[in-house]
Structure formats: C-alpha cells, structure tokens
C-alpha cells in the first residue's frame, strides 16, 4: 500500500508553527528591511528587489491579526508563488522541510488560533505538536493582490 505524503516547509511565527506545501515556495531568503509603500494594507511591510522584480513583502502575523513581535535580524522571507506573481512572507524561523503522511493531516475547524479557514489546508499532528498547514496561494484575496502587485 502506497501512503500518500506531502512535502512541507515548517516555519515559526510568534512561537506558533506553520507549514506550507513546498510546491508553493520558490525559495527562502535572508531578511532585509523592505521599502515601505504608502497607502498599502497594514499587513504589507513593503517591497524588496527580488531577481530584478519588485516583491511585495507581507507579515502573516499582521494579516492574521496576531500579536506582532519585532522582526529580528535573523528572520527569513519565504518567497511564495501566487499564480503568476510572487510574494515575500516574513517568518521568524524556518525550521525544516518534512514529508508528512496525508493521514496525519486533519480537516481544520472553522477558526484556528484566530486564523480563518480559507487560509488553512488542515492541521498537521507531529510528535504531539499541532502545525497549521497554510494554503499559501489563498493568503491574499484578489483585491489585496490588485492593491500590491
């Protein structure tokens, strides 16, 4: 019997563990302070140059209305694919890439830790920890994409 697995990138924001499908992640870069954009949504930290293109950089903590810690110098930016576009997502720590058996991914409740269901693919249970499996491609609404891309 062939067990299905999904490869995920596990990262940490404000002490909470999250995961993203590795297929939605292009790469991980070191944190540099983004250039602020006037009149952008509050969760947009700004933009940065990435491969000679402008990359919007967002804070998931602000997007999910979670308490925001100050961004540390060793933070990372996950470059995530959004259809044809890309966004940068600031995370505190990138911990590992891991193969997760689909049987260890549970259906999500309506709201998890203040994060709406549309952003979540499910909950991953590993070693007694619960990791929120994010739907990275759904993080931004179409209106938000139009505002910042």
Per residue in 59-110, pLDDT tens? 998 988 887 778 888 899 999 988 788 999 999 999 999 999 988 999 877 6
Mean pLDDT value of segment 102-120:
78
Which residues does residue 28 pair with via DSSP β-bridges, in sequence order?
Answer: 78
Q: In total, how many domains does the chain have?
A: 1
> What integer pLDDT is reported at residue 14 of this predicted model?
87
SS3 of 22, please? helix
Could you tell me the two tokens for 19?
A: 């995961």
- E-assigned strands of the chain? 5-13, 16-21, 25-30, 44-50, 53-59, 76-82, 85-91, 93-101, 105-106, 111-112, 115-116, 120-126, 129-134
Q: Is the pLDDT of residue 1 over 60?
A: no
> What integer pLDDT is reported at residue 114 of this predicted model?
65
The whole domain housing 119 covers 5-148
Exposure string over 124-135, b if 16+ CB within 10 A, otherwise e = beeeeeebbbbb
- Domain CATH for 10: 2.40.50.180
Question: What pTM did the predictor assign?
Answer: 0.88
Mean pLDDT value of segment 124-135:
90
């Amino acid at each position: 019997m062939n067990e299905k697995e999904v490869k995920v990138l596990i990262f940490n924001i404000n002490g909470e563990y999250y995961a993203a499908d590795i297929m939605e992640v292009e790469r991980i870069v070191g944190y540099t302070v983004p250039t602020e954009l006037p009149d952008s949504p509050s969760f947009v930290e700004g933009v940065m140059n990435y491969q000679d293109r402008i990359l919007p950089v967002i804070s998931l903590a602000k997007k999910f209305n979670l308490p925001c810690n100050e961004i540390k110098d060793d933070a990372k930016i996950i470059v995530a694919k959004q259809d044809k576009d890309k966004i940068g997502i600031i995370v505190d720590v990138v911990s590992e890439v891991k193969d997760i058996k689909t049987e260890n991914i549970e259906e999500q409740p309506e709201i998890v830790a203040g994060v709406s269901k549309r952003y979540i693919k499910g909950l991953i249970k590993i070693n007694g920890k619960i990791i929120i499996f994010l739907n990275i491609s759904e993080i931004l609404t179409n209106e938000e994409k139009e505002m910042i891309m």
